[in-house]
Structure 1
């Protein structure tokens, strides 16, 4: 028997890079499998999965970061002390209607050549002061026609149990801005008693009302404390410093937007029931009869 043994002879190559490539391809484990066919390690497989999944995970993480950024910014913008979104103590349903804008006031004064002050009115602006007239009264009526509103449904959710409920289920609510304007109008009218008169034989209630209005306006001004600066000037002729009444911007809430909202909830002033069961006639007594929002009328039944 021929005992000749045969051995595989590796072919030499002068190209070391080719040899390295062949060694890498054909060197294997004990099973004889080439390295290229051996199972990859867990870390290697995870690395490939992450690389392949990045195109899906990456955009998701980016959107998630945008969401968190928006949530943080939104929370910051809804500070309870931000007049642009509504203060914590203000009526909740009106807050979405708050709109801020920059404007110049039309109530400036100016100095004439003799050093005397004179009113300067913006052309086309509504007049709220001056000699009494139906036009001026109508302008005041327009901006105070929201002193009280009747809220129902969702608009009433934050005032339920905190104010008077009318027999029709609506909640009777006053709004400070309109109350302050009403007070200011009362002070204006007190400058023209000969024109408007005093409705009460005893002038004391009227005087008390005016004093209340002055104090309420003082508190409102101090509460808001607008910080828009007033330019000053020095007048050489009169050797004195004085305000330079020039047009300047103020940042304001859009009052007409608030007024539009209030007009959606007009108050039915006939729906009142007095403690003795009489129905109020809906006559509001802002001109002197302090403490009485309505007069008694005929008897009526009212189920609580």
Structure 2
């Protein structure tokens, strides 16, 4: 776990959790994967998919100590403590894992995207099946990335003016890679834009099969592969 701590901002979760880093291949196909995740819609809203997401919407909170609060760079005097009647003592500050907040944000965007599905029939220019496949793909890619990174950074809570309940402080400290440096590297090492757009398949190139959904969406008859005698 030492290498994880070195590449993460301090989190009290890392003091009491143990796990291994695993190599996991992203299910990255545009069309539905062979083993689609339970968080991926297909071509229309799916109650079972919604239920899987809603299970993650119940973000759980847990206690952290004043010493842990200070290591997070927060002021204990401004943070919410659990009530004494909960039996957690006088040194129990409310906290949650930031990853689940990020999943909540993605789910909100997912809901907004799929809300357009029910209005599609009255739209002047309805969205195509490919649009909904694209929405499913993008959401699933981001979800897989959030799960893969397993961000254990901590959200704390404040008492905020006008609010009667604990209010999450989403100003969270992270240990980040330098986005500007990565963007500059890409700009420096990438080939001209038109080079990527104008590449066409050469004769004899090996190819992989495309999803059956492609032929259905575009109304194309799938070519029959003749068997070699």
Same fold, TM-score > 0.5, yes or no: no
TM-score (norm 2): 0.40
Greater share of residues in strand: 1
Larger Rg over CA atoms: 1
Q: Quick one: higher RCO (CA 8 Å, sep 6+), 1 or 2?
A: 2
TM-score, L = length of structure 1: 0.32
